């Protein structure tokens, strides 16, 4: 080494430690990289091939050969609507418990209101929601003077004074 490098080397012991750590990390990195090259690790995940009994087998091969094979018949198509909510999975609060179903006998004003109000969606859960005329409502809220008193799977009940409306969603 030149005289200037030797002087710097002796002047700073912390530089010696830093250089030693860099050299050690470089050596570890090269060892790991060489191990990958020598080991020939597969580049993709592969399943264990089926075991063929060749007579002479190791313990591991006999372990796989003794495992039972399970065949499961899967349906070709889904027979249920996976997006359909099942209301029986949700607890009902006291506000949601159905009350007596006393209906008002007068159907003249009901038809007019039922044409004006359109139930678009219902969502169950601990706080059920209904979408009526594009407005999201929960139990107790009002729309056009009607209070939302019950939300069921595909229907809602609205009440104003003594008039009770039941709106149902149309089948698609």
Other C-beta atoms within 10 Å of 23: how many? 10
CB neighbours of 127 closer than 8 A, spacing ≥ 6? Answer: 138
Query: Does the pLDDT value for residue 140 go beyond 90?
Result: yes
Which residues, 6+ apart, have CB-to-CB distance to 169 below 8 Å? 119, 120, 121, 122, 154, 155
Cα 110 to the center of its chain, rounded Å: 42
With a cut of 60, say whether residue 143 has pLDDT above it. yes
d(CA 171, CA 85): 15
Mean pLDDT of the chain: 77
Give dist(CA 124, CA 152) in Å, integer: 8
pTM above 0.75, yes or no: no
Residue predicted with more confidence, 72 or 157: 157
Q: How confident is the model at residue 39 (pLDDT cuts 50, 70, 90)?
A: confident
């Amino acid at each position: 080494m030149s005289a200037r490098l030797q002087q710097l080397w002796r002047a700073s012991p912390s530089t010696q430690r830093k250089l030693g750590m860099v050299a050690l990390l470089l050596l570890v990195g090269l060892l790991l990289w060489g191990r990958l090259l020598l080991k020939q690790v597969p580049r993709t995940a592969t399943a264990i091939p089926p075991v063929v009994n060749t007579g002479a087998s190791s313990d591991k091969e006999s372990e796989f050969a003794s495992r039972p094979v399970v065949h499961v018949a899967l349906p070709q198509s889904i027979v249920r609507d996976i997006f359909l909510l099942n209301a029986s999975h949700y607890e009902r609060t006291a506000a949601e418990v159905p009350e007596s179903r006393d209906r008002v006998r007068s159907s003249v004003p009901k038809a007019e209101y039922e044409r004006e109000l359109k139930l678009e969606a219902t969502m169950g859960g601990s706080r059920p929601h209904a979408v009526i005329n594009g407005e999201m409502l929960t139990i107790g809220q009002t729309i056009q003077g009607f209070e939302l008193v019950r939300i069921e799977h595909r229907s809602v009940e609205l009440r104003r004074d003594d008039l009770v409306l039941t709106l149902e969603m149309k089948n698609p």
